[in-house]
């Protein structure tokens, strides 16, 4: 039976709604399944800093789909690279986060890699998972350019200076601030709280609002996420599978050592 390719998360964001995401960084279909069952709108599978490959990506996408929830798989690609983007989309990603986009030319290259001709240069294969292994080819090919969600990461002052030009590229659906890389590129290694970095982030927020461009970022707590939503963000990662397990394990052992210090 043919299935219509529809991206619920993209529709929500285009309608101005706030969405909740979760990082899948353990390269595990089991943790991806757990996150999807949690009710998130999108699961962001990390292929930039996590150690997965295309096969682990496929297994995570399958696990998310098997839950029957409305969660869709987004993927942070390793780089703004035509081949990586093509393979990740063919694996069934509904949306891409593309890191380190600093200029309009780089944004154009990213969007061309995500779109089939004539809008772009993405290679076509009807036998891939995204197209239902040949069963949904016609539907997928007709709808993919409209349904795939593309967000570009803002990680340098160069990107901030060029933000208007980057956002003007047809097909850019959202901007996503990477606070750790931004702070480091500004000379404040891993310190997003530095006043200079916070001022730069405020500049991105003001520009995005003026451009009517959806904005996303990460959060470290619900209180931080709520404050970001209140400032207009529409895409926020609320949790990470790796951080969740690490934190729960450490908290459990801290309580154990408190009772049994020896």
Owner of token pair 């039976």: 1
- H helices then E strands: how many in the chain? 12, 8
Return d(Cα 54, Cα 39) in angstroms, integer. 25
Return d(Cα 118, Cα 259) in angstroms, integer. 66
What's the residue count for the chain? 262
Residue 49 falls in the annotated catalytic set? yes
Distances (CA, A) of 209 to 25, 91, 110, 167: 30, 33, 23, 12
Looking from the CA of 148 toward its CB, the CA atoms found within 13 Å total 33
> How far is C-alpha 244 from the chain's CA centre?
18
Q: Which two tokens stand for residue 164?
A: 């208007």
Pair 96, 48: CB distance under 8 Å: no
Q: Of these residues, 2, 11, 39, 49, which one is catalytic? A: 49
Return d(Cα 207, Cα 58) in angstroms, integer. 36
Q: Which two tokens stand for residue 192?
A: 């997003």
Q: For residue 62, what are the contacts with CB-CB under 8 A and spacing of at least 6?
A: 29
Task: Please report which helix (H) or strand (E) contains residue 256, including its range.
Answer: helix 241-259
Active-site residues, by number, are 49
């Amino acid at each position: 039976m043919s299935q219509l390719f529809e991206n619920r998360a993209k529709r929500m964001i285009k309608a101005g709604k706030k969405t909740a995401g979760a990082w899948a960084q353990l390269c595990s279909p089991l943790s991806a399944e757990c996150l999807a069952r949690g009710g998130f709108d999108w699961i962001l599978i990390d292929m930039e800093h996590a150690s997965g490959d295309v096969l682990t990506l496929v297994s995570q996408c399958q696990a998310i789909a098997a839950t029957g929830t409305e969660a869709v798989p987004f993927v942070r690609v390793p780089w703004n690279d035509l081949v990586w983007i093509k393979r990740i989309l063919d694996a069934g990603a509904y949306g891409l986060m593309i890191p380190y986009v600093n200029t309009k030319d780089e944004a154009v290259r990213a969007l061309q890699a995500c779109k089939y001709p004539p809008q772009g240069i993405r290679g076509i294969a009807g036998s891939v998972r995204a197209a239902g292994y040949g069963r949904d080819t016609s539907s997928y090919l007709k709808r993919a350019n409209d349904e795939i969600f593309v967000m570009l990461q803002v990680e340098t002052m160069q990107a901030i200076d060029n933000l208007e030009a980057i956002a003007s590229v047809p097909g850019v659906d959202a901007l996503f601030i990477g606070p750790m890389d931004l702070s480091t590129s500004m000379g404040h290694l891993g310190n997003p709280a530095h006043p200079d970095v916070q001022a730069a982030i405020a500049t991105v927020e003001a520009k995005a609002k003026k451009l009517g461009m959806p904005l996303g970022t990460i959060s470290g707590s619900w209180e931080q996420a709520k404050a970001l939503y209140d400032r207009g963000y529409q895409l926020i990662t609320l949790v990470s599978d790796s951080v969740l397990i690490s934190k729960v394990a450490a908290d459990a052992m801290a309580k154990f050592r408190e009772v049994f210090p020896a």
